[in-house]
Amino acid sequence: MNKKNKIKIVVNGKLLTVNIKYSLKNLIEKLKTPINKVAIELNEEIVDKKKLNKIFLKNKDKIEIVHFIGGG
């Protein structure tokens, strides 16, 4: 019963289980990601950060959250 309300997603290569009707905004808030310092990809498509609350995640969705680090 409970399983029906859950979906599995992969965030930065890590498997996470979340509720259905879970939006990208919910995810970003849960991860406490500083939104203005990252870029987000959903299944290899860049996501408009202004529309996060309108994008609901589906089972097996792959999300990448990236930021700047030191590099040459």
Nearer to other proteins, 1 or 69 (CB): 69
In DSSP terms, 56 is beta-bridged to 23
Give how far Cα 39 sits from Cα of 2, 10, 68, 69, Å. Answer: 32, 16, 10, 13
- The DSSP code for 56 is B
Q: Which residues bind other proteins (CB under 8 A)?
A: 11-14, 31-34, 36-41, 44, 46, 49, 64-72
Nearer to other proteins, 20 or 66 (CB): 66
* Cβ(49)–Cβ(27) below 8 Å: no
Nearer to other proteins, 4 or 32 (CB): 32
